[in-house]
């Protein structure tokens, strides 16, 4: 479930979301 949630956040936030998420 966590993987899916993170994936959605990345898609919604976009490339910038990846940097913030990591």
Q: What integer pLDDT is reported at residue 5 of this predicted model?
A: 76
- Record the pTM: 0.27
Q: What integer pLDDT is reported at residue 8 of this predicted model?
A: 75
- Provide the token pair at 19: 């940097």
- Tokens 């994936």 label which residue? 7
- Tokens 């898609």 label which residue? 11
Q: What integer pLDDT is reported at residue 6 of this predicted model?
A: 73
d(CA 12, CA 3) in angstroms, rounded, equals 14
pLDDT in tens, the chain (22 residues): 566 777 777 777 666 655 555 5
């Amino acid at each position: 479930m966590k993987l899916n949630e993170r994936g959605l956040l990345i898609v919604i936030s976009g490339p910038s979301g990846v940097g913030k998420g990591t």
